[in-house]
Amino acid sequence: MSNKNTRRPLKVRGASWSKSIASYLSKKSITPNQISIASIFFAICSAIFILLIPSASSYQIWLFPILSALFIQMRLLSNLFDGMVALEGGKSTKSGELYNDIPDRISDSILFIALGYSITVVSWSVELGYLVALFAMMTAYIRVLGSSMGAGSCFKGPMAKQHRMAIVTFALLINPFEIILFEQNYILLMALIVIAFGSFVTILNRTYSIYKTIEEK
């Protein structure tokens, strides 16, 4: 990340623990772009455990969803620290925006498509996974388009990246209880449906906000 004006407003950047970790990383021979790329690796790890959930047995019913949720958090931490190391750590590069945005789009797609393939209770879950991946990409595309048109970066929800990942994480942690108590696997499907609907509303919300900003100039 290279421009403060394009950063998503996050309170966690002001937390002492995040500042300490960012400061530590800044002193190492680690670049913000490397941290951004690492987020894809964590997303892939999460996706692998998501895909293993349908065949899980015994302790794996708990292990796979928990590990998947953990790697999602690692992905989010990478998204946090790449910007902090770049700006607060003084390691920003001219190509930083590319490394900031593209890995996010890849990571989102990997996770949602994996979720679609992992759901076995309906026949259309794979298509839903691809649809959610498309909607997630559209929310980012509209934000970047608005910025390029001079309307600034619109991070309005209700289903921005952090909200999408929070819902997936929650669903993964609840998933083992659903399997054990009800021998069903609907929670991941419900999560994708909620994200699909929320992302669609976000697309409309951001588009309208950008439209109003441009027209009022």
- pTM for this predicted structure: 0.92
pLDDT tens, 139-161?
999 999 999 998 888 988 899 99
Calpha distance 25→169 (Å, rounded): 26
CATH class of the domain defined by 12-215:
mainly alpha
pLDDT at 2: 45
pLDDT at 126: 98
pLDDT at 4: 52
pLDDT at 1: 45
What percent of the chain is modeled with pLDDT above 70?
97
pLDDT tens, 42-65?
999 999 999 999 999 999 999 999
- Helical segments of 88-152, H only: 96-118, 125-148
Residues 6+ apart with CB under 8 A from 130: 112, 113, 116
Q: Is the pLDDT of residue 5 over 60?
A: no
Query: Which one-letter amino acid corresponds to residue 94?
Result: K
What are the residue ranges spanned by the domains of the chain? 12-215
User: Per the structure block, which two tokens stand in for 215?
Assistant: 């027209």
Sign of the Cα torsion 41, 82, 86, 3 reads positive
pLDDT at 3: 53
